[in-house]
Structure 1
Amino acid sequence: MVVHRNPDLSTFELTENTVAVFLTDNKIPLLHEEYGDFGDQGIALLQSADTNNYIKDYIVFDCVNEKIPTIEWLKTNYKGEQGFLKGIYITGSAFDSFSNDHKWIIELRELLAQVVSSIESVDLPPTVGVCFGHQIVSCAAGLKVDRNTKGCEIGMTNLKLTEEGKKIFPTGDGLWISEIHNDIVYADELSCGWQNLASTELCQNQSFYKPGKLLTFQGHPEFHKGVAKKVYLDFMQSGNVSEETYNRAAESCELNPNDGAFMAGAIMKLFKNEI
């Protein structure tokens, strides 16, 4: 497995099955030395489910610094002669997906609007988004994303699966995932051909799915216990939640399971065109 970071796309050629990782946040010092950035954590998640080494290469695009591929590059490498581009993975982020204050967020939304459009998506790779990734894909599709009026959702959280969700995840009625977010997708009905796979009391739209094309999670399947607890600590130290809330979130990681492995398996199936 090889990771390429911000290669010069005018000369770089894909030669193996590849996933494009859209890195949408800066490094978190508390995490980076031990666990890397959100791109590294996403790659680790995918590798954990890639038992037959289907994906050989990963390209990390530093979106925050405007290293964003063009729609033409995505199309060429997905539908071209070789077709080595198997998927897009969009990381989490502390930024607001609906912000108009950052050029890179606006440009990424514009790109993703084409990626998820029912017409264009035929010629583009399947897309996975976690947390910010879930939200910005939703923004790009025209759904409302904003602050959650019910407050922050943080900790190891049990998702209630819809009937469609139960078909994708073999975990019974529920799915445990690490959550840490202030924003949610507001949508009572989905008119874009997507299905909602799960919900919680604080967030109705926890996971979107379109067969062969899209799988998103409001939570973080890539956060195992060690990562989750450090992210919660950083969130508390930055003044976003109280120490009491942090303690409850950290304890939830010890008391509850983490079904990230099931979600990683579903992501790999999407990239293999199996779901």
Structure 2
Amino acid sequence: MKPPLRIAILECDTPPDSVREKFGRYGTIFKTLLDAGADALGQPDLISSKKGLELSAFDVVEDQKYPDLDNVDAVLISGSKHNSFDDTPWILKLVEFTKKLLAQDRVRTIGVCFGHQIIGRAAGVKVGRSEEGWEIAVLPVEMTAKGKELFKQDTLSLHQMHRDVVFEYPKGVETLGASPKCLIQGMYKKGKFISVQGHPEFNEQIVTRLVNMRHEQGIFTNELAKDALDRVGNHHDGVAVAQGFLRFLLED
């Protein structure tokens, strides 16, 4: 695929006010990530934050609007506070749209956290609540051979914010990585899709806000919140993941 890369970002949630006021909606947060990834590729004549990326955003929860596939080259499905296995109308509509994406051969798909799980669901495998519990803040993900090839690292340190998982790999999918609590941390199918369970778009400030909010809401225990906040400022490889996403899109 040659630039310009026309990427539609499906916003599957709205950030809390404290996050949105500083960092914007998820379309903007992902733009920041992808711009950084493009610059880090070190190919400014091909792609950078100033050239070769054309990003658009669609609210698929409230507006339930979707891109015309004739007008995009890739679709990125964002994370969400919602459950990927629920049957609410907007989620069912998203799953059907994702099935349509997976059934065609031109537009490529990127999934992040909830989006990773939606790809799994659309591909026909089980997604749901893990008995292993929450993964929160920066944690190591060990890469497979394909993960090392795409992300250029043996291990990724990634922000996590989930207790739902994809339980098995769809047929024909290559593995990207695993963590002790989540064996399917990433999926890849050449020319079709790439996904990660972590949150490359998050940073220390965003995750700190989310952890404190969920602690106040009683979702996170004192112990969970403290453990997460102790690690929230650790080195994070979000830009390396963004580079991997772009390498996937630029593949022939």
How does the TM-score come out when normalised to structure 1? Answer: 0.82
Instruction: Check conservation: 1:68, 1:108, Cα contact below 8 A.
Output: no
| 1:147 equivalent in alignment to 2:129 | yes
Give the whole-Å Cα distance in 1 for the aligned partners of 2:170 and 2:197.
19
* TM-fit CA distance, 1:244: 2.4
Asked whether the equivalents of residues 24 and 90 of structure 1 are also in contact (C-alpha less than 8 Å), the reply is: yes
Identify the match of residue 127 of structure 1 among 109, 116, 139. 109
Structure 1 contact 139–145 (Cα < 8 Å) conserved? yes
Match of 2:229 in 1: 250
**What residue is the counterpart of 2:32 in the other structure?**
44
* Percent of pairs with identical residues: 28
1:23-102 paired onto structure 2 within 5 Å: 23-51=11-39, 52=48, 53-69=50-66, 73-74=68-69, 76-77=70-71, 85-100=72-87, 102=88
For residues 171 and 161 of structure 1, the distance between their equivalents in structure 2, rounded to whole angstroms, comes to 7
C-alpha distance after superposition, 1:174-194 (max 9, x if no partner) = 11100010111111xx34321
Distance in 2, matches of 1:40 and 1:108, equals: 20
Deviation at 1:37, TM superposition (A): 2.1
- Counting only pairs closer than 5 Å after superposition, residues 108-123 of structure 1 correspond to structure 2 as 108-116=94-102, 120-123=103-106
Q: Where in structure 2 are there 5+ consecutive unaligned residues?
A: 40-47
1:206 aligns with 2:182: no
User: Residues of 2 paired with 1:136 and 1:64: CA distance?
Assistant: 14
Matched position secondary structure for 2:75: strand
Q: Is the 8 A contact 1:213 1:270 kept in 2?
A: no
In 2, the alpha carbon distance for the partners of 1:191 and 1:69 equals 25
1:261 aligns with 2:239: yes
Q: Find the aligned partners of 1:169 and 1:17 in 2 and give their Cα distance.
A: 19
**Structure 2: how far apart are the matches of 1:242 and 1:191?**
34
Q: CA deviation at 1:54?
A: 4.0
1:181 to 162, 175, 179: 162
C-alpha contact (below 8 Å) 1:66/1:104 kept by paired residues? no
Does structure 1 retain, via aligned residues, the 8 Å contact 2:150–2:247? no
Aligned with residue 270 of structure 1, among 213, 227, 248 = 248
CA contact (8 A) 2:80 2:114 kept: yes
Query: Structure 2: how far apart are the matches of 1:236 and 1:48?
Result: 31
Note the alpha carbon deviations across 1:113-170, whole angstroms, 9 max, x for none: 1212xxx3313x1111111000111111111011111111112010011122122222
Q: Does 1:228 align with 2:207?
A: yes
The Cα of 1:225 is off from its aligned counterpart by: 1.6
C-alpha RMSD of matched pairs (Å): 1.7
- Distance (Å, rounded) in 1 between the aligned partners of 2:170 and 2:158: 26
Relative to the length of structure 2, the TM-score reads 0.89
Q: Are the equivalent residues in 2 in contact too, given 1:17–1:54 (CA < 8 A)?
A: no
SS in structure 1 at match of 2:66: coil
Structure 1 residue 264: Cα displacement: 0.7
CA distance change for structure 1 residues 169 and 57 in 2, over 3 Å: closer, same or farther?
closer
Deviates more, 1:54-63 or 1:132-141: 54-63
Distance 1:56 1:251 in 2: 36
Contact 1:30 1:234 in 2 (8 A): no
Distance 1:54 1:67, change over 3 A: farther
Q: Secondary structure at the match of 1:68?
A: coil
Q: Which runs of 5 or more structure 1 residues have no equivalent in the other structure?
A: 1-15, 78-84
Aligned to 1:105, which of 79, 91, 98? 91
How many Å separate the matches in 2 of 1:54 and 1:197?
Answer: 29
Displacement of 1:66: 4.1
